[in-house]
Structure 1
């Protein structure tokens, strides 16, 4: 029986999510060559939805030159440079425009960040930044950040799994600045927050690279 029989969503959406999740969870490691025929056989789908899925994953930056991406230090710096610019502006915007119900949602994200499971903290972290970016009402800005979400996830996993110091404290400081309608402070705090994320990820990246060299 075909695996997509009886499914309500198109095969493309199903295969996209399966392949994306395998990459993000590390089941398909960085550097792995992607072969359409092999994936089609493993997942039980035709090559057409597989091809469409890979095209989308390429657009999102998870697959480059038919291989699972292995982000370099330059990739990391480039990504965060864009995030610092866009999310800094978003935090300033949120201080002006964010409605009360979204302020409550930000507070809930902070509480989950302190008390939740790892998966819950990951989701709350993503939601916290998403609420702030969406406060701009700027569809181009939102689309730019959305396009980077899969790569952002890889680095978000690093800061959560390796327990970056003050991660949630910084979220709370950003929230308080937004709640106080202090746009300048909110922007500054967001930029510093993302710079700290970058510095931490670079440290972990360097450490892991040195560990690999030492094990050879």
Structure 2
């Protein structure tokens, strides 16, 4: 991933480090080696430490005094807590999206769904970027910046915890079907149906993650 050139050195480090964590390239439970990471990113340890502090503020890293930073691991209580919050936020967003969407919003949502199905047909693991892109398109349609800000933080923590789980093709297909059903409800301008589809979608994703944790 190449970060935008206008970002500061620390800002670029944030984006690259976030990518390494969310894709599972730095797996949950891993303690960060600042010397190796600084060499890998081609920066000094000052900007790297700024990036680590930033990601810790987002919940993507855990900082322990005198021990450094590590990538958090998933447990059932954390997953359930995240999905309680995510359900409250995203069901409200789905309702707002169904009430406020424009034709351009619907076109974008459908485009992301189609791209996700193409990737799935090619045998690609359900890419987190496409999942986030779908939910971001829904949030954009909702036109509620405060909800969107909080959802982004919760979503990426879920993505982080999911990175340690094995692929589940039936779950991936079900998620694609859920996304299509959400678009249909939003396009039809049916807030309550959109909220209910979102609630069922997130309940299934939560259950799948808990099963994956064993």
Runs of 4+ in structure 1 off by over 4 angstroms are 155-160
Give the SS at the match of 1:135: helix
Q: Does 1:173 align with 2:201?
A: no
Q: Which residue of 2 aligns with 1:59?
A: 57
Bigger relative contact order, structure 1 or 2, given CA contacts below 8 A and separation 6+?
2
TM-aligned CA distance change 1:174 to 1:184, over 3 Å:
same
Q: Which residue of 2 aligns with 1:10?
A: 8
Q: Is the 8 A contact 1:29 1:68 kept in 2?
A: yes
TM-aligned CA distance change 1:200 to 1:17, over 3 Å:
same
Give the SS at the match of 1:178: helix
Per-residue deviation, 1:11: 1.2
Q: Which residue of 1 aligns with 2:151?
A: 145
Q: Does 1:131 align with 2:137?
A: yes
CA deviations 1:34-60 (Å, max 9, x no partner) are: 343443344332222111100111012
TM-aligned CA distance change 1:92 to 1:159, over 3 Å:
farther
TM-aligned CA distance change 1:33 to 1:99, over 3 Å:
same
Per-residue deviation, 1:76: 0.8
CA deviations 1:178-210 (Å, max 9, x no partner) are: 11111111101111111111111111111xxxx
Question: How many residues of Structure 1 are paired with residues of Structure 2 in the alignment?
Answer: 200
Give the SS at the match of 1:69: coil
Structure 1's unaligned 5+ residue stretches are: 1-6, 207-216
Q: Which residue of 2 aligns with 1:4?
A: none
Which region of structure 1 is more displaced relative to structure 2, 177-186 or 139-148? 139-148
Whichever of the two has the greater Rg, that structure is: 1
CA distance in 1, matches of 2:94, 2:7: 35
- Taking the TM superposition and a 5 Å limit, the aligned residue runs for 1:156-167 are 161-163=167-169, 164=171, 165-167=173-175
CA distance in 2, matches of 1:171, 1:23: 25
Q: Is the 8 A contact 1:95 1:181 kept in 2?
A: yes
CA deviations 1:153-186 (Å, max 9, x no partner) are: 2356578932214211111111111111111111
Q: Which residue of 2 aligns with 1:20?
A: 18
TM-aligned CA distance change 1:73 to 1:191, over 3 Å:
same
